[in-house]
Amino acid sequence: MTQILLVYSSVHGQTRKICEYIQQKVQQSDHQVTLAALDDVTDLSGFDKIYIGASIRHGKHRPALYEFIQRHQVQLETKPSGFFSVSLVARKPHKNTPETNAYMQAFLQQTVWKPKLLQTFAGNLDYQGYGPMDRNIIRFIMWITKGPTDPNTKVEYTDWQKVDAFARQMVEA
Say what the pLDDT of residue 45 is: 92
| Separation CA 76–CA 114 (nearest Å) | 9
Q: pTM of the full predicted structure?
A: 0.94
Q: Torsion angle, CA of 130/103/156/126, rounded to 10 degrees? A: 10
Answer for the pair 95, 104: CB distance below 8 angstroms, yes or no: no
pLDDT band at 155 (very low <50, low <70, confident <90, very high): very high
- Cβ partners under 8 Å of residue 63, min gap 6: none
**What tens digit of pLDDT does each residue of 116-149 get?**
999 999 999 999 999 999 899 999 989 998 899 9
Say what the pLDDT of residue 1 is: 86
The separation between CA 128 and the C-alpha centre of its own chain, rounded to angstroms, equals 22
